[in-house]
Structure 1
């Protein structure tokens, strides 16, 4: 079992994701009272000793009326323009509310590419940790004015899960307009019952929800459940629920007194390096391995040796990420390769002594066990 590697900070970290629907009125514009309530909730957490990161939507809502639009834009260009105008206005409102309580906040804009690059991933971690150490509340958002994909998926749910994993947070609170998960749509079925706890989010559950209209009563619930699974797999506990009228609701949620749905963290915690390999990296090739190599990687804690490779796909250099599939073509994991593709193709199936005779400086392992992560859902037993 992998153990959590502490970042050096003793205070627990909570990531709070605030969606647009939890910040706006019925016209789609920012509602000052809601924003202030969320700030008060964050301050309650800080007063209780938690470090807090906010992942906040709302830039488009804050900006579209300044463009002379009567409603939220539908085109990508319109959304990006509204975000460009609204992002500064949104953060300024957060700054004013926090400053009134003698607390500082900082804007942090991220895109998916900030996580796929190992260097930028570590830089984002260093920046967030520095802000938290200084008592600042980072207000994170996707860089909507330039990032095409980020406007189209997740409504910041996935970003919040990634930030929670990056910081190895104890909690991720996903604020939505339905108080957690239900057995059916509570707006249509009065017999629907709330689901208070889930041990995990599996494929069967995800198949029951729709990307835009959840059978459990809320648009976007699939996005939240997908994000919850991602966070839980990195060792973060997740809470999905509405923002209560009492501004202590965030504090109550992390004390297991919330009225929404709790999703337990996986028992197998993974390090940031493993997180990056498993979740964020972009594989550039694929290695097929025989049954012996698959067994060594999955059950024996071994490394991948040249003798276990049967086929190479793609062109890559040493130090890049590759996927590994078994003899049935099933993905079993990924890792850093210590060999370039051309050399692996040349020595696949060879014993280590033969490889060293050909290239004396070649490492013994194609993928060392310290640079290897098993794919989620892979049967290990």
Structure 2
């Protein structure tokens, strides 16, 4: 299925720009970095003048709240961080509204949690809301709803949130604005031999070649590893993803639509979009739904699930174990145990609860009625509700 955004059909692009905390707030004083923010606003307006649709995913609610409350450091207690974020989010939106308002550009606040998107109807409502806002010429300003999010239902960082947003609206580009020009093979601040990575076609292979052990800033939650995760999510949905410096928002305009071989472009790392992106429903299952448990399968079932030409549903006979407590129709991981640890082969919507699966594992489909006294389905996960993340050759 070819990835085609609505904006592309109208000769414009849909672009998501994620700005990190260190691009918005001074790490020590917590004052806003107005030069960066003004540059971002000017970039967004220039993109819109070229008929592009733009969404901004913003961090810095906590940093802005710390400045407003005159608190020196981010609290360790969850409730305190949520309270600081609640104070800061209003101030942050007021800042964006004031800057965009100088040019009569309307903006909208969109606060999301992973739990909001776990329900299919809510996911589709969010997609429709984005589409309406962009059709109206509004710039949506997206952030995670830190005030009500808990650890289990958080995106965890705004890089992931930006990737999910880009996938939802079928964006053409996702820009991850950070505190370095691009991805390096190691931390360039500590290793002078670190080399820039300019182009990546395979995020999984790249993870084995670069060092991304450094975390985020004192105010932020990310780091380079979250950029790779976000790039993996976004490119799977057909979204080209670019890492570039947050203090140079004008780079966005210079990088759009240029050839990968153009040597005059600003320093950046580009992750190319997959040619065969996941269809919307399966992308939602994989990235929008909370994982409620794990089903372990034998090698035969794993091969039947991932082999091209078979792409089988998952049947009870191939299940060896189940972990976690979940109900029917919740999303679960499908894993194969190996000497090196668990290997995740996919994710899907279960037709049976964890307690039911524990009773029918290793049973043939014809035996389910005898064991349970009823039959919900002849398979535990139907192939139409199963997303494979491993290829046949990767099982060998």
For these two proteins, the number of residue pairs brought into alignment is 373
**Which one is further off, 192-201 or 322-331?**
322-331
Between the aligned partners of 2:354 and 2:131, the Cα distance in structure 1 is 37
Scaled by the length of structure 1, what TM-score is found? 0.83
Shift of 1:316: 4.1
Identify the residue that residue 266 of structure 1 maps to in structure 2.
274
Between the aligned partners of 2:275 and 2:42, the Cα distance in structure 1 is 32
Shift of 1:272: 2.7
Between the aligned partners of 1:75 and 1:288, the Cα distance in structure 2 is 36
Matched, 1:305 2:309: no
SS in 2 for 1:17: strand
1:211·1:220 contact (CA, 8 Å) conserved in 2? yes
- Structure 1 residues 81 and 237, CA gap change in structure 2 (3 angstroms): same
1:284·1:316 contact (CA, 8 Å) conserved in 2? yes
2:235·2:277 contact (CA, 8 Å) conserved in 1? no
Shift of 1:38: 0.4
2:5·2:172 contact (CA, 8 Å) conserved in 1? no
Q: List alignment gaps of at least 5 residues for structure 2.
A: 259-264
SS in 1 for 2:208: helix
Counterpart of 1:321 (choices 331, 341, 347) is: 331
Between the aligned partners of 1:312 and 1:184, the Cα distance in structure 2 is 39
SS in 2 for 1:284: strand
1:355·1:362 contact (CA, 8 Å) conserved in 2? no
How much is the aligned-residue C-alpha RMSD, in angstroms? 3.4
Shift of 1:67: 2.0
Matched, 1:15 2:16: yes
Between the aligned partners of 1:29 and 1:313, the Cα distance in structure 2 is 47
Between the aligned partners of 1:312 and 1:181, the Cα distance in structure 2 is 38
2:306·2:391 contact (CA, 8 Å) conserved in 1? no
Counterpart of 1:240 (choices 238, 243, 247) is: 243
**Which one is further off, 98-107 or 71-80?**
71-80
| Correspondences of 1:190-205 after superposition (within 5 Å) | 192-202=194-204, 203-205=207-209
Matched, 1:278 2:286: yes
Q: List alignment gaps of at least 5 residues for structure 1.
A: none
Between the aligned partners of 2:270 and 2:141, the Cα distance in structure 1 is 24
1:285·1:314 contact (CA, 8 Å) conserved in 2? yes
| Correspondences of 1:32-181 after superposition (within 5 Å) | 32-69=34-71, 71-76=72-77, 79-147=81-149, 149=151, 155-181=157-183
1:44·1:248 contact (CA, 8 Å) conserved in 2? no
Between the aligned partners of 1:120 and 1:268, the Cα distance in structure 2 is 26
- Structure 1 residues 340 and 87, CA gap change in structure 2 (3 angstroms): closer
- Structure 1 residues 239 and 308, CA gap change in structure 2 (3 angstroms): same
SS in 2 for 1:83: helix
1:5·1:271 contact (CA, 8 Å) conserved in 2? no
**Which one is further off, 120-129 or 13-22?**
120-129
Shift of 1:13: 1.6
- Structure 1 residues 324 and 226, CA gap change in structure 2 (3 angstroms): closer
Identify the residue that residue 222 of structure 1 maps to in structure 2.
225
Between the aligned partners of 1:145 and 1:343, the Cα distance in structure 2 is 36
- Structure 1 residues 190 and 343, CA gap change in structure 2 (3 angstroms): closer
Shift of 1:175: 0.8
Identify the residue that residue 366 of structure 1 maps to in structure 2.
380
**Which one is further off, 281-290 or 88-97?**
281-290
Identify the residue that residue 332 of structure 1 maps to in structure 2.
345
Between the aligned partners of 1:148 and 1:318, the Cα distance in structure 2 is 23
Between the aligned partners of 1:154 and 1:361, the Cα distance in structure 2 is 38
Shift of 1:123: 2.9
Q: Deviations over 1:1-21 (max 9, x none)?
A: x54375697343211011122
Between the aligned partners of 1:223 and 1:60, the Cα distance in structure 2 is 19
SS in 1 for 2:277: coil
SS in 1 for 2:203: coil
1:243·1:249 contact (CA, 8 Å) conserved in 2? no
- Structure 1 residues 321 and 68, CA gap change in structure 2 (3 angstroms): closer
Between the aligned partners of 1:281 and 1:255, the Cα distance in structure 2 is 33
Counterpart of 1:249 (choices 210, 226, 251) is: 251
Identify the residue that residue 3 of structure 2 maps to in structure 1.
4
Between the aligned partners of 2:241 and 2:291, the Cα distance in structure 1 is 28
Shift of 1:369: 1.0
